[in-house]
Structure 1
Amino acid sequence: MTTRAERTEPAISRPGSLLNKVPEVTSAFWVVKVLCTTVGETFADFLNDGLGLGLTVTSVVMTALLVVALVLQFRTRRYVPWVYWLTVVLISVVGTLLTDTLTDSLGVSLRTSTVVFAAALAVLFGVWYSVERTLTVHDITTRRREGFYWATILVTFALGTAVGDLLGEQLALGYLSSAFVFAGAIALIALARRFFGLGAVVAFWAAYVLTRPLGASLGDLLSQARSDGGLGLGPTATSLVFLVAIAGVVTAMTAAARRETPPGRHA
């Protein structure tokens, strides 16, 4: 939702400051984001149901792995593609599990989850802006801003899962129809950004939230049984296909980042 011209690289002006920790928002960014959200849906199902770990064990294991990934991410001083996108994949899975836990284990309705996560996201944005006076992802150059960023990402994944499940399952819209609805909403945001002056920050975060239920709807469409409205590929095959796709794109990103990194600057 942003252009190269709108991106301003912050300078390192003091000890402890960082190069921007978020990749440039290009078409490749959105492609990998949707792939990650799809894996978040299908891989959670694979661990929970396919391997029979159960929701509690799966949640504990994936949360522990996410903590490790976040430690790696926070220890870098610049954007490192494989670390960043590994963190996104894991936070996508954990966000899915968070919503599933509320729904399946605690009996919280998807409508309630949607409202709660939407309110939590609004509060996060409010606190983030009141402290930093910006919500842009092009200036994640301090640990505090990075903390706000990843907390926000987690809530967007949980919210997107709740919204996707609410439309696709509880309201019986169906996986394919839900995917079209969310893709259409994202297209409208892009049009509003291009032709009607919608702000870059608002456009980015609105699209970021909506790519989660879009990816989840696509994941369910591919993995769920035909009797449930899916294509019957199963969570294992769907997860493998998308993980390979993510690995391929991120490998290309890593190679490009190495070519563009100025001499003497390291993670």
Structure 2
Amino acid sequence: MPKTAGQQDLAQPRRVLGKGVLNRGDRLFFGITSAAAYFAFILVGLILVFLVAQAWPALQEQGLAFVYGDKWEVTEEKTILQIGPMLYGSILIALLGVLIATPMAIATAYMIVFILKGGWAKLATNLIDLLAALPSVIIGLWGVLVFTPIAQGWAEFLHQYLGWIPLFATDKGTTSLNSSPFIAGWIVAVMIVPIITSVTREIFSQFDRELVNGALALGATRWTVFRRVILPTTSGGITGGVLLGLGRAIGET
């Protein structure tokens, strides 16, 4: 049975953007936005080229030892500066911060969008946005002066029984618990929770509530709805928020 024109249009949607069917204003807008998108990729490439060019003398002199080595010697004859420990510490603390912050952020976003109502949801949103606006130095001072004395007991316990795990180890034993990645990871998590929460909240707010209400009406629990309905649909957006948080975490360490 031959398809009608309407059925063919529905079966094979056509791309018309940028193919000469738009007016001059639309074509101009399409060209500007396309140029901006390409410029973003070009800018990232230029930054990468600049970093490689600036680091090339050190790589020529020391090779890959500059990246994974641990020497830090400054003498009149020769200077050897290697970033292995700093790179390792940054990656370790950033990953720990993301592991801590991601469940907290997803739970907070879910509570704001699907549980809290009216003024309570608005209040929670404003508090998260306020936390995101705090400068990193303020959160760092809070971590050093307030959180670290409290968390030293946890760090000592974890170091004593799980010190073989890098996340809970310290460089100098239990006398140097202030340098525990566990404490630093929690402080970094506080910095990045608002970012991941804000992105996840926006993703959740665009989710079709009828699907949630329908699943609940069929007898599903909230946990089942979240795990089987909401999370698979929004996982891409959540991943983007986590990557943004990871970027800030690495930058702060």
User: TM-score scaled to structure 1, two decimals?
Assistant: 0.29
User: TM-score scaled to structure 2, two decimals?
Assistant: 0.30
- State the structure with more CA Rg: 2
